[in-house]
Every structure is written in C-alpha cells, then in structure tokens.
Structure 1
Amino acid sequence: MIVVAGEALIDLVPQGPNAGAGPDGGRGPLPDLAPRLGGGPYNTAVALGRLGSPVAFCSRVSRDAFGEALLGGLREAGVDVSPVQRGDEPTTLAVASIGADGSAGYSFYVEGTADRLFAVPGALPVGTRAVSFGTCSLVLEPGATAYEELMRASAASGVFTALDPNIRAGLIPDPDAYRARFKSWLPSTALLKLSEEDARWLGGTPQEWLTAGPSAVVVTSGGEGLTAFTRDGATHSVPGEDVDVVDTIGAGDTVNAALLHGLSALGALSPIALGQLSGDNWSRLLRFAARAAAITCSRAGAEPPYAAEVGSL
C-alpha cells in the first residue's frame, strides 16, 4: 500500500478561445473557468490508482459539494479513502492560467479551507510501505506541521518516504524559512522528486540534497526529460516523449506516481533497495514516468493515464 498525504483542491481551468486572457482583461474577455479535481497529492493518488497500485489518500477534505466530488474521483480511481478526515470548512480553490506553451500557473484561495486543519492520524493503513508528501500541504499551517510530523514518524518507523515539494512561491511568505524547513525534511526523505524550476527556487543541488538524506533525487525538465541522481555519484537521464501539449497540469504529479508505482514493481520501495537500483532499471523507470507524463500533457486538466495507456515498465 502506498499512502499519499496532502491536499485535495479544485482547479479552475480556463476554457475556450480566451483561455490565455490576462486577469486585467487587457487581452479580451476573460475566459470561462471549468472546475477540475486537483491538488498535487490528490493527482498523485489518482494516478497511482489508475496505474493499478494499491493506494490510499490521507488528507482533510471538505463536506461541501467540491469535497464530495473529490472523494468520488478518488473512489473511481480505486483509491482507499478511509484515512480521509472531513470538515465543514470550504475546499481550496486554485485558479489556473495557461501559457502559450501549455505551461500552467496558479493563484490560490486557501484561507479557512479544510486541509489546513489536517491532524496527524493515529495510524496509517495496515500494509503501508510508502508515504508520499508535497505541495501546498507542507506550506499552509497548522496542517503543514501535522504533515511534517507524519513524515518524520513514517521515516523513523522504516516506511519509505517520497517528497515532491512542487513549489508554489505565491503561498510562501518567508522563502528563506521555507528553504531551511525543506532541508530539515531531507533526513526523513528516501526519494526526492522535483522540477528544474523547484531546484532553482530552492537554490541547492542534487548532490547537496543526497548528502543530507535521500537515496535518490529525480529532476524533471519538462519536455526535455528526466534525470535521476544517486548517492554513488551516478546520473541516469532519459528524454521526454514527443506529444502535442494541451497543458501541463498534473504532469509532475503523474511523474511522482509513475516513479512510486515503478519502484514498487521493481521491489525497490526501501532506501537501501533504491540506492542499489541498476542503471538499466533506472532507465526503464524514467522512461515509464516520461510516457505517463506525456499522456497527461496531451489532455486538458490533471487527467493521468491508466495502466493500459502507458504499457509495461
């Protein structure tokens, strides 16, 4: 069982011919906004379920209509929602803006929302082998401290931990404090996955992060591909898959899920096994993740692929 811990939210995605219009209306009428189920951890859980991994979601979700829809999407993907806490607070909203190249930016509406009141669960589901963390849930208090506590406790108990910081700079009031906090998570992290943009914002290098704790660091470079860095000094790179990009919403989350799914299939959901993964298996794993992400980019919103669409590892 892989547990994904973090926020579920609603992406409001621009639609139609004015989808690239600016917020000031200077480029014409504002676009219609279509609600889409989302949130980095939520997308990761759905992607894992669609790929066929046993997966559970650990979060705090609103009892409003959006929250019910989010739970419905998880169940449809085969995700165990028994660890989900519920609250009467509203669901977080993220308004997306889509660039000419399909890249996505976000503005968030997070005050008083349900996930911010997440509490450390008494226990994770029986058979939990890995827990994945990341995105807004590790920024917004008081929930961030609870997720952080769960991360440290999971690692201390021998559970494989994965971290995808998925930086949303607009939500981080004190960048230096966040960077210091990020470094404090690394001793409790087995697999660190992040984008080139995240790496530049954080201001570190894979080699520095590996020294602090992780067995491997995977850096995504958009359409250019993915690179894995390991403690033995090796690097493993694969190119991106050619695809007509609709938008990039959920692409990084799909990579995260594909890595965890593939590591499970390879019997490498432990820090030691991850550190001993062969070059051939790294290439297989990274190509699998690149294929999965390309499919997500080929359709609107965070719509990760099913196992039959990606093929075997």
Structure 2
Amino acid sequence: MTGRIVVGGEALVDLVPTGDGHPDDPALTPLAPRLGGGPFNTAVGLGRLGVPTTMLTRLSTDPFGDALVRRLEANAVDTGLVQRGPEPTTLAVVTLDAAGAARYAFHVAGSADRLVADPGELPADTAAVAVGTLSLVLEPGASRYADLAVREAERGRLVSLDPNLRPGLVDDPDAVVARLDRIARVAGLVKLSDEDAERWGRTPEDVLDAGAGAVVLTRGSAGLAAYTRGGGVVTAPAASVGPLVDTIGAGDSVHGALLAWLADHDALHRDTVARLDADDWAAALGFAARAAAWTVSRAGAEPPWRREMADP
C-alpha cells in the first residue's frame, strides 16, 4: 500500500428515526443523532480499512463538531486539515421507507462545512484526493473543492469524484453540472449512483468519454457496474452478510472500499486505474459490494473494519 488519501467534503449530523412513533402521530418518531456526511463516512471507512487517510473539511466548534473530530480520530483518520469555526453543524433529518431506504432533508444555512478554505499544500505523501456529495453543491466551499481537485490532478494525483445531487439543495443546476463536468474530466475514478447519473444528466459512458479513468455505478440491490477503459463493462452482484437494516452510508462505503482496493494494489494513479482489466475490476467490485453489505446490515453509517472484510 502506498500513499495517503485526502478526503474533502462535508461532515454533518444525521437525525435518524429510532423507537416508536409519538402517540398522537405515529409518523413523528424520536430522532437520534448519528455522525455522517458522504466524505466523512468515506474517510471513516478508509481508516477502518487501514488506509492512511486525512480529512479536509471545516467543522463547527459546537458539541457536534467536537464529536465529529473524535470519531475521525477514533477511526485512525488524520485531522491535520480539519478547520474549525463558530458556525453551526449541518443537520440532515432522515426518514426511512418500508424497505429501509433513507431519504434526507438538510438544514445547511450558514453551516460550518460550506465555508472551508483552500488548505494550500497537501501532505507530501498524498497519492489521491476524493471529493464529492453536498460539498460540491453548496457554495462557497463547492468551488474551492473543485479548484483543489483540478489542481491536484494537474500535479499527478489521482482524483476520485462522488457526485450527490440532492433534490431541493441545488439552487443553480447549470453551475453544479458544469462543476461536476470539470472535475470528471480530470478524475481517475467516478463513483456514481443511478439516481445521481439521472440528476446530473450524464450516463457512465458520457463521463468516461469526457475523460474519467473509470466509472463505477451503484445500482442498489442490482449490484455494481464498472465502465472501464481496460476491461469494458464489468458487473458484480450485491452481497449480503445479514438482514438489511438501512441503506445509510452504503454508497460511501462503496467509495471508500474502491479506494482501499486501489491502495492495496498500488493503483492510486489515474493511468493505472485506466489500465485495470476485467479481472481487476471484478475483484474491486466484489470488495466494494462486501463493504456495502456490512454497512447496510447495521443501523447508520457503520462501514466495516479490515478484519470483517476477510474472505470467508
């Protein structure tokens, strides 16, 4: 394993339903705080898999921000690039449907994570930069993360992109699409859900044609598909390690596991990713599917540890 992965983006608090509903309205269930955010979950997943990882974000100095820092540190994620400020922590109110699928309502006005500043030089051993989700929608931080991704790609570092276009949060769709297109052109890896592909208006083939080294599409219970330069289209079924509890953090676990697999195989470079063959991608997708299976088997975004990912 070579090099460090810097994960840039939001860290927030999910308010997740727990327990029985209110006696006057069963839909009003108690909410429990869970620490999350796409990039935050990806960083925790990488830390649990033993990959040297640094989180780049801005966190509140409120108790939620303190808890987010503690969780990063408890999962072996370096916090040297974490900025702090007095603004509140972003909140996401989660609802679960009958199948355990999560939907989110975000409270982001004036929150700390969207005010991230350019960190300047990254650690010298940085091999890859992963960006994505809400942090690429909410300004002014969105443009700063995009500028960082393009700059680091020009310096030869692998860039991994995870778009996440939440309905109701996108004030300027054209600007967001242009930002994602700009990063995708220089990205070595794009992890894309089928819903986000539709909202972005880009198929995996479009993203690959634009310049990405590879595109991995998550398709829920239908599994994963990699659109590649070296191996065509490779698919893998969804995995299972137990009953589905909820889907919170499943896509983030896929993102982290893919990056961990690349790190394990000394493939944290755009050209190396582009040269991976079908057998390589089958192995990478299988690893990512197992990671997602562990995550959906327990409540909240709890990605697996390396010991849990060993082949049975």
Which TM-score band (shorter chain)?
over 0.9
Q: Aligned pairs, how many?
A: 308
1:185 to 183, 186, 196: 183
**Secondary structure, in 3 states, of the residue corresponding to 2:126?**
coil
1:126-150 CA-to-partner distances (Å, cap 9, x unmatched) read: 2000000001111111111111111
Tell me the alpha carbon deviations over residues 19-54 of structure 1, each in whole angstroms, 9 at most, x when there is no partner. xx9xxx996251000000100000000000001101
Cα–Cα, structure 1 residues 234 and 120, in superposed 2: closer, same or farther, change >3 Å?
A: same
- Equivalent of 1:107, from 102, 105, 108? 105
Aligned match of 2:262: 263
Q: Is the 8 A contact 1:97 1:106 kept in 2?
A: yes
- Residue 233 (structure 1) shift: 6.8
1:47 to 45, 48, 63: 45
Question: What is the alpha-carbon distance in structure 2 between the residues aligned to residue 203 and residue 145 of structure 1?
Answer: 20
Q: Which moved more, 1:155-164 or 1:203-212?
A: 203-212
Partner amino acid, structure 2, of 1:66: F
Aligned-partner Cα distance in 2 for 1:28–1:124 = 49
Q: Which runs of 5+ in 1 are unaligned?
A: none
Code of the residue aligned with 2:280 in structure 1: it is N
Tell whether the 8 Å contact from 2:246 to 2:298 is kept in structure 1 after alignment: yes
Measured in 1, the distance between the counterparts of 2:62 and 2:245 equals: 30
Kindly indicate whether the alpha-carbon contact (under 8 Å) linking 1:134 and 1:165 is maintained by their aligned counterparts in 2. Answer: yes
Residues 211/29 of structure 1: CA separation in 2 closer, same or farther (3 Å cut): closer
> 1:19-34 to 2 correspondence within 5 Å?
28-34=26-32
Structure 1 counterpart of 2:295 = 296
Residue of structure 2 equivalent to 1:92:
90
Question: 1:283-312 CA deviation, whole Å, 9 max, x = no partner?
Answer: 111001000001100111111110111115
Distance 1:219 1:128 in 2: 26
Distance in 2 between residues matched to 1:98 and 1:29, nearest whole Å: 11
Deviates more, 1:77-86 or 1:223-232: 223-232
Structure 2 unmatched ranges of 5 or more: none
- Which letter maps to 2:244? V
CA distance in 2: counterparts of 1:12 and 1:63, whole angstroms: 19
For residues 36 and 159 of structure 2, the distance between their equivalents in structure 1, rounded to whole angstroms, comes to 22
Distance across 2 between alignment mates of 1:265 and 1:160: 15
1:155 and 2:158 are equivalent in the alignment = no
Bigger shift: residues 212-221 or 273-282? 273-282
Runs of 4+, deviation exceeding 4 Å: none
What is aligned with 2:36? 38
Percent identity reads: 52
Which of residues 2, 6, 11 is equivalent to 1:8?
A: 11
Residue 274 (structure 1) shift: 0.6
The 1-side partners of 2:26 and 2:135 are apart by 35
TM-score, scaled to structure 1: 0.95
* CA displacement, residues 87-118 of structure 1 (integer Å, 9 cap, x when unaligned): 01111101011111111010011111111210
Q: Where does residue 212 of structure 2 map in the other structure?
A: 214
Give the RMSD, CA atoms, in angstroms: 1.7
Q: Is the 8 A contact 2:163 2:192 kept in 1?
A: yes
